[in-house]
Amino acid sequence: MDLELIKKLVKLIDSSGITDFSVEEGDTKIKISKRSSGSHAQPVMQPVSLQPEESSPKREMPALEKTAEARPSNLHEIRSPIVGTFYRAPAPDADSFVKMGDSVTPGKVLCIIEAMKLMNEIESDVAGKIVKVLVENGKPVEYNQPLFLIEV
Amino acid sequence: MFNFENFEIKLDTDVIGRNFIYCEEVESTNAELLNEENGIDIDGTVLLAEKQNNGKGRKDRKWYSAKDQNLTFSILLKRKISERKVNLVNFAAALAVSYTLENLFQIRVNLKWPNDVLIGHSKISGILIESTIRGSKINKLVIGIGFNVNQIAFQGSYIIPPTSIRKELNQEVDRERVLSDLLNNFEDLLNRVDENPEGVLNDWKDRCRMLGEKIMIQDENYSKSGIFEDVDEQGFLMLRTDRDTVEKIHFGDVSLR
């Protein structure tokens, strides 16, 4: 291949508005790409492509924060008044007192907490919908531990 | 038949048993007092049934009692009880039964954690306390007591073999006198839970022969063994395990290893 021909082609393309050029002659192939400063082209491109990705989670974040802020206002927590064991049903083979999605009224029994041989029926003090059961059946609970989330 | 006059003449309480409800037959005396629809709201109310069709224990275990022969009753408490002292009511109830056995019949008891009353290795009384709690305040506390008095034959199978006062003494006793004495004791013990909880704990410990022994605590999900070291100020069992640490136990069936 004629080196002078390549030099000429480079000069010609550099001074033109052409960014990509290729020519084939027999089994010789010349490909010239003009992307601002050559090998730096890719790293330059990357931040450009990243920018929209970065901005999309940024746009979601405020949305998440908004729902987190909204929680205390319409979600009521039922907490354990005593230390004991949490039961969702009155007997081992019985149905649960309540499940997710159930509507409850004040006085509705939600669970039993057993301490020694004292079975404490925990009643709802609000009307609303059970959105979360926070403790597994048969697990120990501490004073003031959240048990249920109720949407009021 | 229950003789009210004999009962009342011996009753020496201010509040407990002053409102007295007598039923021939109910599902469960605890359930009757817990049921809001019944509108029973007076502190100290005692509901006695000659027959319970669904007398219950822990985890829906059944309490069988022959009609007209024993005492199956529940006591309603509506007064303010601190959540931290509520477990001591378990001990107060077991001690009320114990004092009656000791004072009226000179029978020596053996208390099993948390609130069974045994004579030797046989059970004479079982207690189940139920409460309703709304917004972290105790609304109602119902103490259910089954006390074998005059029953001699016990059919069926039991986790712990049953006995009765009559079986122990070989003579029939006056149920009315037993109940009034027990309620007198219980009112006194409730006041002591408030004023001198350590004294109630010590009285209970004096009658618990498993203290200091190797025991096993079981429930359907777990089984632990160790030395029954003590009960804490709330009545929880302090178990010294093999790893030489002390664990607090809140519930379970205790047996000697």
In this predicted structure, the answer to whether residue B135 has a pLDDT above a threshold of 80 is no
Q: Are residues A46 and A111 in the same domain?
A: no
> What fold does the segment set B4-206 form as a domain?
BirA Bifunctional Protein; domain 2 (3.30.930)
List CB contacts (< 8 A) between B139 and chain A.
Answer: 123
In this predicted structure, the answer to whether residue B227 has a pLDDT above a threshold of 80 is yes
Of A14-23, A63-72, B94-103, B119-128, the poorest mean pLDDT is in A63-72
Note whether B139 contacts A122, CB cutoff 8 Å.
no
List CB contacts (< 8 A) between B131 and chain A.
Answer: 118-121
Q: pLDDT tens across B148-191, in order?
A: 999 998 887 888 899 999 999 999 999 999 999 999 999 999 99
Q: Are residues A112 and A141 in the same domain?
A: yes
Sole residue written with tokens 């009034």: B180
Q: Are residues A85 and A139 in the same domain?
A: yes
- Distance from B139 to chain A by nearest Cα, in Å? 10
Where do runs of H (alpha helix) occur along chain A? 3-15, 41-74
For an interface test with A, the pick among B63, B133, B160, B201 (most A C-beta atoms closer than 10 Å) comes out as B133
pLDDT at position A72? 61
pLDDT at position B136? 76
Q: pLDDT tens across B13-58, in order?
A: 999 999 999 999 999 999 999 998 999 999 999 999 999 988 877 7
pLDDT at position B183? 98
Mean pLDDT across chain B:
93
Q: Tell me: ipTM over 0.85.
A: no
Q: Are residues A74 and A29 in the same domain?
A: no
Q: How far is CA B90 from the centre of its chain?
A: 6
Q: pLDDT tens across A95-125, in order?
A: 999 999 999 999 999 999 999 889 999 999 9
pLDDT at position A59? 42
Higher-confidence residue: A5 or A68?
Answer: A5
In this predicted structure, the answer to whether residue B131 has a pLDDT above a threshold of 80 is yes
Q: Are residues A150 and A83 in the same domain?
A: yes
Q: Are residues A140 and A86 in the same domain?
A: yes
* Among B129, B132, B220, beta carbon nearest to A117: B129
Which residue range is the domain that position A44 belongs to? Answer: 1-53
Looking at the 3D structure of chain A, how many domains does it have? 2
What CATH number is given to the structural domain containing A100?
A: 2.40.50.100
Q: pLDDT tens across A50-81, in order?
A: 334 444 444 444 444 444 444 567 999 999 98
Query: Closest-CA residue in chain A for B88?
Result: A116
B192 by Cβ neighbours in 10 Å (0-12 / 13-18 / 19+) ranks as middle
Q: Are residues A88 and A46 in the same domain?
A: no
Looking at residue A27, the DSSP 8-state letter turns out to be T
Question: Following DSSP, what letter does each residue of chain B receive, concatenated?
Answer: ---HHHHHHH---SSTTTSEEEEEEES-HHHHHH-GGG----TT-EEEEEEESS-B-GGG-B----TTTSEEEEEEE-S---TTTTTHHHHHHHHHHHHHHHHHH----EEETTTEEEETTEEEEEEEEEEEEETTEEEEEEEEEEE--S-----S--SS-B--HHHHHTS---HHHHHHHHHHHHHHHHHHHHH-HHHHHHHHHHT-TTTTSEEEEE-SS-EEEEEEEEE-TT--EEEEETTS-EEEE-S-EEEE-
Point out the domain boundary residue: A53, A72, A94: A53
In this predicted structure, the answer to whether residue B209 has a pLDDT above a threshold of 90 is yes
Euclidean distance between CA atoms A129 and A72, whole angstroms:
15
Q: Is A60 left (phi over 0), alpha (psi -120 to 50) or beta?
A: alpha
Q: Does domain B214-256 have CATH number 3.40.50.800?
A: no
Q: Are residues A106 and A139 in the same domain?
A: yes
Q: Where are the domains of chain B?
A: 4-206, 214-256
List CB contacts (< 8 A) between A107 and chain B.
Answer: 36, 134
Q: Are residues A78 and A32 in the same domain?
A: no
Euclidean distance between CA atoms B112 and B135, whole angstroms:
32
Residues 6+ apart with CB under 8 A from A64: none
